[in-house]
């Protein structure tokens, strides 16, 4: 399989992209999906979500104090 960056991958292989997508190669082609969950139900007035590209995850923290995490009621991914 040839990915969008021009790299060749063997059949039945899998990898994670720089954009935090998990991809796999089969004889029918390449399939990719996000490797992370996105927060969708939290207090957006008081809190903000921050994406960490190194861990491929979101953290939801208070806008005024990033050391305080917020409660998230729902995630999608």
Q: What is the pLDDT of residue 28?
A: 94
Q: Can you give the pTM of this predicted structure?
A: 0.75
Determine the Cα–Cα distance for residues 53 and 21; give it in Å rounded to an integer: 11
Beta-strand runs (E) in 1-77? 13-16, 21-26, 29-34, 38-41, 47-52, 57-62, 74-76
**pLDDT tens, residue by residue, 1-47:** 999 889 999 999 999 999 999 999 999 999 999 999 999 999 999 99
Domains along the chain with CATH numbers: 1-35 (2.10.70.10), 38-76 (2.20.25.590)
């Amino acid at each position: 399989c040839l990915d969008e960056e021009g790299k060749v991958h063997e059949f039945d292989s899998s990898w994670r992209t720089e954009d935090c997508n998990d991809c796999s190669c089969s004889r029918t082609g390449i399939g990719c999906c996000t490797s992370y969950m996105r927060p969708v139900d939290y207090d957006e007035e008081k809190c903000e979500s921050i994406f960490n590209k190194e861990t491929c995850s979101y953290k939801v923290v208070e806008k005024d104090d990033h050391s305080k995490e917020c409660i998230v009621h729902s995630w999608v991914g």
